[in-house]
Structure 1
Amino acid sequence: MMKSVSAEILLKRIGRSLGSLHLSTATQVQPNTKTHSFRTEENNVLNHTLDHVGQYYRIPNDEKKIYLYGGLPKSYQIQTRTFNETCLMIRKPAIDIMNCLKSIDYTKPAVRFVLFGKKGNGKSLSLAHILHYAHKTEFLLVHVPWVGNWMRRCKEISHSETKEGFIDLNIDAAAWLVHFKSQNEHLLSKPEFRTTQDHVWSKREVTPKDSPLVELVDHGINRLKYASNCIVILAEEIKQLSRAGVCKTLVAIDGFNAFFYPHTRVFAEKKEVIPPHRITLTEAFLNLTKFDWNNSAIIVTVDEIAIAEEDHKSHLPRYLLGKDGFEHLDPFVPVFVDHYTPKELTSCMDYYRERKWVRYVPGQDKELSLLSASNPYKLMQLCTSL
């Protein structure tokens, strides 16, 4: 009798312990089992509105090819491989520009937008979101992933054969042509994309008028010494095609202010520093960012880390572009990219928890918000060690 009573009491105690353990576990996982409001089911970028701000959308695998050769920051690319999916947060600056692109009168001169904000606030990812939208709406994309790579980490230099005193970055130029061809393959195959004039490269090499535009691109890729000059010619051909109504063009350049910062790391003989205005590629993209053409829109970012300056006094366009750069773009529409709002920071942390990147701890979001100052890049760095 005593044994059965003891067993009964023991079973009750075990039941109470299991019950308290179940409640404790439920309390711990509750933040992770709530409705996933940080994701949107609307993965079609054409349907994104301000109602989706602060939510993540997944880029379909067949549409990720526009970032194959650049477009996402390297640290974010590593994260997408870790999470086994490519997701972007929908943010207000990108939606504002996309709404403008829907309502612009493309018969008028090109409208220019400048994304600015403190480093790490998400300018490049906002530009990536806009690129996805432009790709889906059949824009011809002229996208430079990061100008700073040309001005500070160029692969090789050579003297221009067509412009005395200019420097060619032909390996970088050929790589960009591959990027351009990859992003616009679906458009370049159309018969209306043809050259508007003859282009003579040498006594034996000519790209005649009415050749497919892709032949001009391929010539720059296959004949490396002409790659930089090919981009200069391609820039003018794109402007002519847009003026003629063959296509709508979106020019998107990340780190545009590097074109105007005099202290590059491009050196000629005797360690002479070559300023950007003497680099052939600069001529091409300054031509594309003028407003002397239509059927186009121009979006650039200005960034503190695009230039080799340690003590940054300001993140504002007037300071980063300098007098020449500001006058080149003026007039333009400034678009400020701020740090995360409380809703965006919560969405980011919920996404990290869903991907098993961080573990839930009470009060974690508030603490990380203070440590990172709600800066997206700093928040990502802080979470890598959690």
Structure 2
Amino acid sequence: MLKSVETIFKRTISHKKTRVFLLSTAAQTKNEERLSSFRTTENDPVKHTTDHLSQFYKVDEKDKKSLFLYGGLPKSFQLQAKTFNETCLMIRQPAIDIINCIKSIDFSKPAVRFVLYGEMGSGKSLSLAHVIHYCFRNNFLIVHVPWLGNWMRRCQEYSNSETKEGFVDLNIDAAAWLLHFKTQNTHLLSNPDIKTSEDHVWSKREVTPAGSPLSELVEHGINRVKYASTCAVILCDEIKKLSTQGVCKTLVTVDGYNAFFYPNTRVYTEKKEVVHPHKVTLTEGFLNLSKFDWNNGVVVLTVDEIAIAEKDQISHLPKYLLGKDGFAHLDPFVPISVPNYSKKELLSCLDYYRERKWVRPFEGQDEELSFVSGNNPYKLMNICAPL
């Protein structure tokens, strides 16, 4: 009798051990599946679809240097990418929506304008970066202002315009932007068809004749900084003509576009009077490109509360941030909301951080970080950052 009880006891213990082993193995397999699902092997944005939503893709280092060497990615994100030794963007619905629209646009019709909007830190700039990467791979000519707030709130230098009375030039910022434009479009500027349509006279000895490569106009603005702002405006006008003629497709993107319509800049005249954005020479070129009176192009803009640095803002919606004049200038446009992370996106982001050994896992971590961050991408990144 005693021997049979002992046998039953051993069998029960053995069964429990087997059950625990099977459960732990199943849990481990589930965790491995989850950890492998946050990253996609499809790193070409041209092939991204809704099947890749919430997954991270790796931006090719060569593409990153071409597109974002002089701006376009938030500084905090760049620091994180440097720490992780790779630049990965999450494939999110707003970017996929715009990419799908671009794929089906009739470019013979007037340029379509998209406006990305959302709460601070929701990921508007990174969604814009994804769209830029897609258009770069599709051989669009890219006209990209990485952050307009830098021009209107933190310009490096300002002076009275030599070509337009009553206007103010931001020549150092304009020359830096021309270099950014040149770097992004090196592969297209060598095209002999991309050339100037008319003579541009700078002085008695300096002329850019009609039929010159567009790169010559860009180089002139970089080398002769006093003409950089005027060069940027003329460049925008020439690009508009080239696109309308069907020579190239153009993507126009401005991050923080609403700063063009906010009167309280930190640009001043010689008498220390505040200059309205519409009296800044550079503004003319980009307002011209954001109209719909041309074709063979697409315009993707963001509006952001930080771009104007105004306290007590009551809304992040385009109608409020653009104001009456800005809204009228863009109307009609396609609004694209950039929300905070969904549950799936949050888990994908945390799995990426764990894979990079950026956070150490513990029980209930997902729920706690979701609650503390409110699923806001920027807040989540800051919470997970080192002390």
Provide the TM-score with structure 1 as the length reference.
Answer: 0.92
Is contact 2:196–2:214 with CA below 8 Å preserved after alignment?
yes
Deviation by residue 1:195-241 (Cα, 9 ceiling, x = unmatched): 00000001110000000000000000000000000011101100110
* 1:275 matched residue in structure 2: 276
Alignment of 1:159-198 (within 5 A): 159-198=160-199
Is contact 2:35–2:351 with CA below 8 Å preserved after alignment?
no
* 1:8 matched residue in structure 2: none
Question: What amino acid sits opposite 1:99 in the alignment?
Answer: N
- Name the SS for the 2:116 alignment partner: strand
Structure 1: runs of 5+ lacking an equivalent: 1-19
| C-alpha distance in structure 2 between counterparts of 1:199 and 1:96, whole Å | 40
Residues 1:379 and 2:380 are matched in the alignment: yes
Question: Structure 1 267/199 Cα, relative in aligned 2: closer, same or farther at 3 Å?
Answer: same
- Name the SS for the 1:236 alignment partner: helix
Is contact 1:353–1:360 with CA below 8 Å preserved after alignment?
yes
* 2:251 matched residue in structure 1: 250
* 1:10 matched residue in structure 2: none
* 2:39 matched residue in structure 1: 39
Cα drift, residue 268 of structure 1: 2.0
Residues 1:369 and 2:373 are matched in the alignment: no
| C-alpha distance in structure 2 between counterparts of 1:374 and 1:34, whole Å | 19
Alignment of 1:1-386 (within 5 A): 31=31, 34-65=34-65, 66-385=67-386
Deviation by residue 1:157-213 (Cα, 9 ceiling, x = unmatched): 110011111000000000000000000000001111110000000111000000000
- Name the SS for the 1:270 alignment partner: coil
Question: Structure 1 332/33 Cα, relative in aligned 2: closer, same or farther at 3 Å?
Answer: closer
Cα drift, residue 365 of structure 1: 0.9
Question: What amino acid sits opposite 1:45 in the alignment?
Answer: P
Question: What amino acid sits opposite 1:42 in the alignment?
Answer: E
Is contact 2:54–2:90 with CA below 8 Å preserved after alignment?
yes
* 1:6 matched residue in structure 2: none
Question: What amino acid sits opposite 1:325 in the alignment?
Answer: G
Deviation by residue 1:105-149 (Cα, 9 ceiling, x = unmatched): 000000000000111000000000000000000000000000000
Question: What amino acid sits opposite 1:317 in the alignment?
Answer: P
| C-alpha distance in structure 2 between counterparts of 1:32 and 1:364, whole Å | 17
Question: What amino acid sits opposite 1:109 in the alignment?
Answer: P
Cα drift, residue 266 of structure 1: 1.1
Cα drift, residue 32 of structure 1: 6.3
- Name the SS for the 1:269 alignment partner: coil
Structure 1 consecutive aligned stretches of length 4 or more whose deviation exceeds 6 Å = 23-30
Amino-acid identity (%): 68
Is contact 1:32–1:354 with CA below 8 Å preserved after alignment?
no
* 1:14 matched residue in structure 2: none
| C-alpha distance in structure 1 between counterparts of 2:212 and 2:343, whole Å | 53
Cα drift, residue 28 of structure 1: 9.3
Cα drift, residue 60 of structure 1: 1.4
| Count of residue pairs brought into register by the alignment | 365
| C-alpha distance in structure 2 between counterparts of 1:253 and 1:121, whole Å | 17
Provide the TM-score with structure 2 as the length reference.
Answer: 0.91
- Name the SS for the 1:36 alignment partner: helix
Is contact 2:43–2:58 with CA below 8 Å preserved after alignment?
yes
| C-alpha distance in structure 1 between counterparts of 2:158 and 2:25, whole Å | 62
Question: What amino acid sits opposite 1:326 in the alignment?
Answer: F
Structure 2: runs of 5+ lacking an equivalent: 1-19
Question: What amino acid sits opposite 2:106 in the alignment?
Answer: D
Cα drift, residue 308 of structure 1: 2.0
Cα drift, residue 357 of structure 1: 0.4
Is contact 2:264–2:274 with CA below 8 Å preserved after alignment?
yes
Question: What amino acid sits opposite 1:62 in the alignment?
Answer: K
Question: What amino acid sits opposite 2:82 in the alignment?
Answer: R
- Name the SS for the 2:310 alignment partner: coil
Q: Cα RMSD between the aligned structures?
A: 1.8
Is contact 2:218–2:231 with CA below 8 Å preserved after alignment?
yes
Cα drift, residue 35 of structure 1: 4.4
| C-alpha distance in structure 2 between counterparts of 1:34 and 1:100, whole Å | 31
| C-alpha distance in structure 2 between counterparts of 1:337 and 1:177, whole Å | 29
| C-alpha distance in structure 2 between counterparts of 1:79 and 1:382, whole Å | 13
Cα drift, residue 310 of structure 1: 1.5
Is contact 1:32–1:350 with CA below 8 Å preserved after alignment?
no
Cα drift, residue 271 of structure 1: 2.4
| C-alpha distance in structure 2 between counterparts of 1:103 and 1:301, whole Å | 21
Cα drift, residue 327 of structure 1: 0.3
Is contact 2:123–2:378 with CA below 8 Å preserved after alignment?
yes
